Amino acid sequence: MEFNGVAENHLPPTVSVLAVCAHPDDESFGLGAALSSWAEQGTRTSVVCFTHGEASTLGTADGNLHRLREKELAVAADELGVASVRLLEHPDGRLSDVPIELLSSELRGVVELVGASLLLVFDEGGITGHSDHVRATEVATAVAGDLDIPVLAWTLSEAVAARLNDEFGTSFVGRRTEDIDMVVEIDRVRQHRAIRCHASQASENPVLWRRLELQGNREAFRWLAR
């Protein structure tokens, strides 16, 4: 188990959640348990991805990753109960080069279109340290501040991050227990189904499966804005 304390049994109630992601699969690999839990509570859930994830080194034998990952995202979103998906056309791996004003304008349009009452993001530091993840969260936080809506960040504990970094030489960023605002018990069944929809990225990804094993049936979150 990731934590020894008592976990809550549900996410904070809200009307419409928008997951702000850098790549197709972020909504499933990282945010899938939360999105499916909210959907089951009757919350409208939506996803926006800034890139098609075409620069991935996984799944390259499957052909055109730009098109393939778009299809994988659509099927995975259905598994999670996501009501709407917006997939933008920014360059994978170079999101930080795109002017924040442009990204913010696009995100603001999606927020207004889906009537988002809460933004769900990767934690500051991007969980894995990926610069695209960091940028997506930066943009979401800026837009949420302008629109006065809350931002909830999915995070990992220091213990899980350290274990992964030790075993795989990765750069996961974890949080101390006192810096985590909420731990929620979740059911990963729909998340696992959604992950498998991203076959190009999941089939040869031992780090992903080890992380889920270490997390068990709990997810941790931090408020970036309330």
Asked if the structure places residue 4 within a domain, the reply is no
Rounded mean pLDDT, 14-34: 97
Residue 161 sits in which domain range?
Answer: 16-225
Q: From CA 100, how far away is CA 138, in angstroms rounded?
A: 9
Write the single-letter amino acid at 83: A
Q: Residue 145: which CATH number?
A: 3.40.50.10320
Write the single-letter amino acid at 65: L
Write the single-letter amino acid at 91: P
Asked if the structure places residue 43 within a domain, the reply is yes
Q: Which of 64-78, 128-142, 148-162 has the lowest mean pLDDT?
A: 64-78
Asked if the structure places residue 10 within a domain, the reply is no
pLDDT of residue 72: 94
Check whether 3 has a pLDDT greater than 70: no
Q: Quickly state the pLDDT bin for 99 (edges 50, 70, 90).
A: very high
Tell me how crowded residue 204 is: count the other CB atoms within 10 A of its CB.
11
Asked if the structure places residue 125 within a domain, the reply is yes
Asked if the structure places residue 6 within a domain, the reply is no
Asked if the structure places residue 7 within a domain, the reply is no
pLDDT of residue 63: 63
Asked if the structure places residue 1 within a domain, the reply is no
Check whether 1 has a pLDDT greater than 60: no
Check whether 6 has a pLDDT greater than 60: no
DSSP states along 114-139: HT-SEEEEEPTTTTT--HHHHHHHHH
Asked if the structure places residue 59 within a domain, the reply is yes
- Chain segment 175-198, per-residue pLDDT in tens: 999 999 999 999 999 999 999 999
Cα dihedral sign, 172-176-182-186: positive
Q: In the structure encoding, which two tokens stand for residue 155, read together?
A: 């995070």
- Residues constituting the chain: 226
Q: From CA 174, how far away is CA 101, in angstroms rounded?
A: 29
- For residues 134, 135, 140 and 141, what is the CA-based torsion angle, rounded to 10 degrees? 60
DSSP 8-state secondary structure symbol assigned to residue 90: E
Q: Quickly state the pLDDT bin for 7 (edges 50, 70, 90).
A: low
Please tell me whether the overall predicted TM-score, pTM, comes out greater than 0.85 for this model: yes
Whole-angstrom CA distances from 134 to 123, 129, 137, 167, 173 are: 8, 7, 5, 23, 11
Strands across the sheet containing 218-225: 84-90, 44-51, 16-21, 118-122, 151-155, 218-225, 182-185
Check whether 4 has a pLDDT greater than 60: no
Name the domain count of the chain: 1
Alpha helices in the chain (DSSP H): 26-29, 32-40, 65-80, 100-114, 131-147, 158-168, 189-197, 199-202, 206-215
Rounded mean pLDDT, 65-71: 87
Whole-angstrom CA distances from 73 to 150, 174, 196 are: 25, 26, 11
